[in-house]
Amino acid sequence: MSVDGDVTRILRERATRLARPEASAPPTDTLELLEFRLAAERYAVETRLVSEVHVLRELTPLPGTPPFVRGIVNLRGRILPVYDLKKFFGLPEQGLTDLHRIVVVNGGDFEIGLLADVVTGVRTLSPAALSPPLPTLSAIAAEYLRGVSEDRLVVLDLARLLSDPRIVVNDGENE
């Protein structure tokens, strides 16, 4: 009987050790982030502004546009401009392949595709965990950054980026 008692006790201890408390409900002010990589650096944007992620297919270069506009793509009948944040932020340039992804973001009344080298996945992060950007972290204009996490994830302020008039390509206004 002592053996049975020992077995029972061991099993109970093991169950206690393996038992996990149920994850508490996430606080309402958590950030849902889509993480991707540009060159060797990791960036993230808020998920609520992202429509979908797509494979880069049939990019058509568009003449007469700023350098950060790589061209346009046809996505299920929608014509989207593709912006290269690396050009925008002055990161090292690489050639385009089929492995590149387009992160489709919604700017309210318009949609644009952001070019990403690799899309890592979706994660959550507390805004309190973000620290102000260091001046030495790349050459990104501090105004487009919400902050940098402890594991050096750069969180972009997509709303401010999209509302920047320099981003918007409008021939009429430029003229």
Q: What are phi and psi of 174, to 5 degrees?
A: -65, -30
Contact 85, 38 (CB under 8 A): yes
Site for other proteins in 92-131 (CB under 8 A): 99, 101, 119, 121-122
Q: What share of the chain is helix, strand, coil (3-state, %, to 5)?
A: 25, 35, 40
Site for other proteins in 60-99 (CB under 8 A): 99
Query: Stretches 53-61, 89-97, 128-136, 150-158: which one binds other proteins (CB under 8 A)?
Result: 53-61
Containing 119, the helix (H) or strand (E) segment is strand 118-125
According to DSSP H, which parts of 19-92 are helical?
85-89
Residue type, 134: L
- Cα–Cα distance measured from residue 43 to residue 154, given in angstroms and rounded to the nearest whole number: 5
Residue type, 137: L
Q: Which is closer to other proteins, CB of 45 or CB of 140? A: 45
Residue type, 77: G
Options 32, 41, 111, 157; binder of other proteins; rule CB under 8 A: 32
Options 55, 135, 143, 165; binder of other proteins; rule CB under 8 A: 55
Closest approach, Cβ 8 to other proteins, in A, equals 33
- Cα–Cα distance measured from residue 138 to residue 103, given in angstroms and rounded to the nearest whole number: 22
Give the single-character DSSP code of 131: B
Q: Which is closer to other proteins, CB of 119 or CB of 162? A: 119
Our finding on whether 48 is near other proteins (CB under 8 A) is yes
Closest approach, Cβ 55 to other proteins, in A, equals 6
Closest approach, Cβ 36 to other proteins, in A, equals 10
Closest approach, Cβ 133 to other proteins, in A, equals 25
Residue type, 47: T
Residue with tokens 């990104």: 140
Number of residues that bind other proteins (CB under 8 A): 15
Q: Which is closer to other proteins, CB of 32 or CB of 169? A: 32
Interacting residues with other proteins (CB under 8 A): 32, 34, 47-48, 50-55, 99, 101, 119, 121-122
